[in-house]
């Protein structure tokens, strides 16, 4: 999901505070399909991605488009408003109780060499890898992907060569949201969630993206690994409830000393 | 709207100084008098709503110093509420120090934390989103730490025994809280009104509008941003004491959490950040709205409705009234006068 955020930020330089809440909606779409129509979460993930693509497109076209030239603060506040709306409509629609999507696959575990692995986690990891790879192919091997990178690099230059920047923005936002939706569907059978989860997911993914470097795909991936390593180490050496402390401390250090992130391109957002 | 989405978070308009016009001065005086007399006729529920209006207006006003006037968007102000509240509560239960003094100690400690965050943020030149994240990260670190310190009650938090003793900041009569909250709001507004017209306030506005230009002109922007942060966090810390002793309980998630920070900033933003009356107006709009949706929809699981409404309002303000409601209102009123 950090990959989705990095795409939105990288291309548009808009900070999407509603990220975690979009992911939660991806989870609920999966949950609805699973509980009402009996679709397995791993099949529903395409639908969740599609639904979130549309949501992302609507939010971008209807709202973000209008404040693109405004200062960053305005965009942050706008997305904060969207986050509040998304989180609390989920609360109204589904109630505050934790939910979980059941998958017949998720119950299984297998021995992988010496370690005991959840099939669900394995699938999630595999699909996340595949998605990152697909996104990379999209960005580096297709025309639209090239235009997207061009826009991220130099919006004015892209305009000059005739890019439809607004369309690029819309697609970037949509694809970013779709990634999040897919991530939500993948995680749905593993983690129980509730509407308030969105906020902590947003914060966690900001950690990851900042640490890895804004607008860098590789950075998002490495950042994700780093954060989980830091949290595991924190859990081992301090105590489990202090594990988030490790990632937040890491975040503060990175913010102070390398605000562009480990793999960032050095430009200040 | 010509100055719609493209303009800044806070006003670029010439300062509206209502106090400079005698008519408005009398109006403000009258409003204060009405508020002073109001509890005599209000139901106890209405008194509660007014307490919340004043309290959030106070917090909003405190945030306004650094977030509105200086334009440094802090989203970690809950940390100061938490530090202030916990300090006063601990001093009261361990050292039997009255919260009336503990409040000041809490404010001072909050100001120290504010100074640390401000120093790091401003010295390392974090702007915009990076500053937002820094403040959020600090608030979260505080929340996690406090949840893990057993002496501070851990994740369960602290409870304050009710004695009803005014010396312990506890009152039998809810109306006493009403007057304390009103006093806090007026105090913070008074402080901001004083600052606004001095060099300090003018520098802050200039920093918000164009920091680079300020530096070029020789303004010590670091110093003024630090001062703004310290004033703001001190006031917020004082508010934390009120919050703790009004609710009789302190929980890390509600005292340090991001939702409280959002509650703090949304009122001045909607009302008009960087204006004297914006936070108050915002609180008078949003707090009753929140209470109303809570009341009318009751406990039937519609808990998030007021937050949906807040979200819609926030989006609407960003899109249509980026300077907030107060500057708009002031413009409309002035047009009618003319």
A249 touches chain B (CB under 8 A): yes
pLDDT (0 to 100) of residue A12? 47
Q: How distant, in Å, are the alpha carbons of A30, A39, A91, B318 from that of B301?
A: 22, 28, 8, 29
Would you say residue A158 has pLDDT above 50?
yes
A255 touches chain B (CB under 8 A): yes
pLDDT (0 to 100) of residue B171? 76
* CB atoms closer than 10 angstroms to residue A141: 9
Q: Confidence class of residue A3 from pLDDT cuts 50, 70 and 90?
A: low
Would you say residue B181 has pLDDT above 80?
yes
CB B56 within 8 A of CB B64: no
pLDDT (0 to 100) of residue A127? 75
Higher pLDDT, B268 or A107: B268
A262 assigned to some structural domain: no
Which residues 190-229 in chain A show a CB within 8 A of chain B?
A: 195, 199, 203, 206, 210
CB A3 within 8 A of CB A209: no
A70 touches chain B (CB under 8 A): yes
How many residue pairs from chains A and B have C-beta atoms closer than 8 A? Answer: 143
* CB atoms closer than 10 angstroms to residue B112: 15
Closest CA to B53 of B290, B212, B236: B290
A221 assigned to some structural domain: no
Mean pLDDT of B307-327: 81
Higher pLDDT, A9 or B332: B332
What is the rounded average pLDDT for all residues in chain B? 80
Distance CA B67, CA B54 (A): 19
A57 touches chain B (CB under 8 A): no
Question: Could you state, in order of their start, the residue ranges of all structural domains in chain B?
Answer: 44-257
Mean pLDDT of A97-117: 62
Rg (CA), chain B: 20
Q: Would you call B318 and A88 a contact, using CB atoms and an 8 Å cutoff?
A: no
Which residues of chain A are within 8 Å of residue B259 when distances are taken between CB atoms? 199
Mean pLDDT of B188-192: 87
Closest residue in A to B311 (Cα–Cα): A81
Q: How distant, in Å, are the alpha carbons of A1, A3, B304 from that of A223?
A: 12, 10, 33
Q: Would you call A81 and B71 a contact, using CB atoms and an 8 Å cutoff?
A: no
Q: What is the pLDDT of residues B281-314, one digit of tens each?
A: 888 888 888 777 766 655 544 567 778 888 888 8
pLDDT (0 to 100) of residue A189? 72
CB B112 within 8 A of CB B131: no
Distance CA B75, CA B134 (A): 9
Strands B249-250 and B158-159: antiparallel
pLDDT (0 to 100) of residue A268? 41
ipTM above 0.85, yes or no: no
Distance CA B13, CA B20 (A): 16
A161 touches chain B (CB under 8 A): no
Q: What is the DSSP secondary structure assignment for residue B249, as one 8-state letter?
A: E
pLDDT (0 to 100) of residue B26? 78
Distance from the Cα of A70 to chain B's closest Cα (Å) equals 5
Distance CA A56, CA A171 (A): 9
Q: Confidence class of residue B35 from pLDDT cuts 50, 70 and 90?
A: confident
Closest residue in A to B306 (Cα–Cα): A88
Q: What is the pLDDT of residues B75-121, one digit of tens each?
A: 888 889 989 888 888 888 888 888 888 888 888 899 899 889 888 88
Mean pLDDT of B141-145: 87
A233 assigned to some structural domain: no
Coil/strand/helix, residue B71: coil
Distance CA A10, CA B89 (A): 45
Would you say residue B51 has pLDDT above 60?
yes
Coil/strand/helix, residue A259: coil
A53 assigned to some structural domain: yes
Coil/strand/helix, residue A181: helix
Q: Would you call B304 and A195 a contact, using CB atoms and an 8 Å cutoff?
A: yes
Distance CA B171, CA A245 (A): 38
Which residues 136-155 in chain A show a CB within 8 A of chain B?
A: none
Q: Confidence class of residue A147 from pLDDT cuts 50, 70 and 90?
A: confident
Which residues of chain B are within 8 Å of residue A82 when distances are taken between CB atoms? 311, 315
Would you say residue B48 has pLDDT above 60?
yes
Q: Would you call A78 and B269 a contact, using CB atoms and an 8 Å cutoff?
A: no
A57 assigned to some structural domain: yes
- Counting the structural domains of chain A, the total is 1
Closest CA to B160 of B105, B99, B230: B99
Distance CA A112, CA B35 (A): 70
Which residues of chain B are within 8 Å of residue A245 when distances are taken between CB atoms? 141, 144-145
Mean pLDDT of A211-231: 69
Half-sphere exposure of B132 (CA within 13 A, CB side): 23
pLDDT (0 to 100) of residue A104? 58
Would you say residue A50 has pLDDT above 60?
yes
pLDDT (0 to 100) of residue A176? 78
Q: Confidence class of residue B173 from pLDDT cuts 50, 70 and 90?
A: confident
Mean pLDDT of A235-254: 74
What domain range includes position A122?
Answer: 2-195
Which residues of chain A are within 8 Å of residue B79 when distances are taken between CB atoms? none
Q: What is the pLDDT of residues B219-265, one digit of tens each?
A: 888 888 888 899 999 999 999 888 888 888 888 888 888 888 888 88
A93 touches chain B (CB under 8 A): no
Distance CA B248, CA B161 (A): 7
Mean pLDDT of A65-91: 78
Mean pLDDT of B186-211: 84
Distance from the Cα of B24 to chain A's closest Cα (Å) equals 31
Distance from the Cα of B308 to chain A's closest Cα (Å) equals 4
Task: Give percent of chain B with pLDDT exceeding 90.
Answer: 2
A214 assigned to some structural domain: no
Q: Would you call B148 and A92 a contact, using CB atoms and an 8 Å cutoff?
A: no
CB A127 within 8 A of CB A3: no
Q: Would you call B9 and A249 a contact, using CB atoms and an 8 Å cutoff?
A: no
Q: Would you call A70 and B6 a contact, using CB atoms and an 8 Å cutoff?
A: yes
pLDDT (0 to 100) of residue A1? 46
Q: What is the pLDDT of residues B252-290, one digit of tens each?
A: 888 888 888 888 888 888 888 888 888 888 888 888 887
Helix residue ranges per DSSP H, B124-173: 128-148
Q: Confidence class of residue B5 from pLDDT cuts 50, 70 and 90?
A: very low
- Residue identified by tokens 């409601």 is B325
Lowest mean pLDDT among A68-82, A214-228, B65-79: A214-228
- Residue identified by tokens 């500057």 is B327
pLDDT (0 to 100) of residue A102? 64
pLDDT (0 to 100) of residue B337? 63
Structure tokens at B234: 């001190």
Distance CA A243, CA A265 (A): 29
Option in B120, B312, B322 nearest A85 (CB): B312
Cβ within 8 Å of residue B46, ≥6 positions away: none
Q: Confidence class of residue B19 from pLDDT cuts 50, 70 and 90?
A: very low
Closest CA to A212 of A230, A199, A198: A230
Q: How distant, in Å, are the alpha carbons of A156, B10, B44, B214, B324 from that of B7?
A: 20, 8, 42, 20, 12
Q: Confidence class of residue A123 from pLDDT cuts 50, 70 and 90?
A: confident
């Amino acid at each position: 999901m950090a990959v989705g955020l990095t795409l939105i930020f990288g291309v548009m330089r808009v900070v999407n505070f509603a990220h975690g809440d979009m992911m939660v909606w991806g989870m609920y779409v999966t949950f609805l399909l699973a509980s009402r129509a009996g679709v397995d979460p791993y099949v529903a993930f395409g639908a969740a991605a599609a639904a979130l693509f549309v949501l992302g497109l609507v939010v971008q076209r209807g709202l973000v488009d209008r404040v693109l030239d405004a200062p960053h603060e305005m965009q942050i506040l706008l997305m904060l408003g969207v986050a509040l709306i998304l989180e609390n409509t989920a609360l109204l629609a589904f109630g505050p109780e934790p939910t979980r999507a059941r998958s017949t696959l998720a119950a299984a575990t297998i021995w992988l060499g010496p370690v005991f692995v959840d099939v669900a986690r394995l699938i999630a990891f595999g699909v996340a890898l595949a998605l990152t790879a697909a996104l990379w192919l999209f960005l580096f091997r297709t025309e639209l992907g090239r235009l997207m990178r061009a826009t991220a690099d130099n919006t004015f230059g892209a305009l000059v060569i005739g890019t439809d920047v607004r369309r690029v923005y819309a697609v970037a936002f949509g694809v970013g949201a779709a990634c999040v939706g897919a991530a939500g569907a993948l995680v749905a059978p593993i983690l129980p969630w509730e509407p308030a989860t969105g906020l902590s997911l947003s914060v966690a993914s900001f950690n990851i993206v900042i640490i890895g470097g804004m607008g860098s795909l590789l950075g998002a991936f490495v950042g994700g690994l780093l954060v989980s390593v830091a949290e595991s180490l924190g859990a081992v050496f301090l105590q489990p409830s202090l594990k988030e402390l490790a990632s937040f401390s890491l975040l503060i250090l990175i913010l102070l000393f390398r605000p562009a992130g480990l793999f960032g391109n050095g430009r200040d957002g | 709207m010509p100055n719609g989405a493209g303009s800044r978070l806070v006003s670029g308009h010439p300062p509206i100084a209502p106090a400079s016009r005698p008519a408005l001065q009398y109006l403000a005086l009258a409003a204060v008098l009405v508020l002073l007399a109001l509890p005599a006729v209000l139901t106890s529920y209405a008194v509660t709503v007014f307490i919340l209006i004043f309290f959030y207006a106070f917090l909003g006003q405190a945030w306004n110093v650094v977030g509105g006037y200086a334009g440094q968007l802090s989203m970690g102000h809950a940390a100061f509420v938490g530090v202030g509240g916990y300090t006063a509560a601990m001093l009261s239960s361990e050292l039997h120090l009255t919260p009336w003094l503990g409040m000041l100690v809490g404010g001072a400690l909050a100001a120290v934390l504010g100074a640390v965050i401000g120093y790091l943020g401003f010295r390392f030149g974090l702007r915009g989103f990076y500053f937002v994240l820094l403040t959020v990260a600090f608030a979260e670190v505080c929340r996690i730490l406090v949840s893990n310190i057993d002496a501070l009650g851990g994740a369960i938090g602290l409870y304050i025994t009710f004695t009803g003793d005014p010396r312990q900041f506890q009152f039998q009569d809810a109306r006493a809280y009403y007057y304390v909250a009103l006093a806090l709001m007026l105090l913070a507004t008074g402080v901001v009104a004083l600052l606004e017209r001095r060099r300090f306030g003018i520098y802050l506005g200039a920093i918000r509008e164009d920091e680079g230009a300020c530096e070029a002109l020789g303004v010590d922007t670091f110093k003024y941003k630090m001062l703004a942060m310290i004033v703001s966090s001190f006031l917020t810390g004082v508010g934390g004491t009120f919050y703790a002793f009004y609710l009789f309980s302190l929980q890390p998630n509600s005292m340090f959490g991001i939702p409280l920070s959002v509650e703090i900033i949304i009122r001045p933003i909607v009302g008009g950040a960087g204006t004297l009356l914006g936070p108050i107006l915002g609180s008078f709009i949003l707090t009753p709205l929140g209470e109303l949706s809570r009341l009318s929809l009751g406990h039937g699981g519609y808990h998030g409705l007021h937050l949906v409404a807040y979200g819609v309002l926030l989006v609407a303000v960003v899109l249509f009234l980026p300077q907030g409601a107060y500057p708009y209102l002031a413009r409309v009123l002035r047009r009618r006068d003319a």
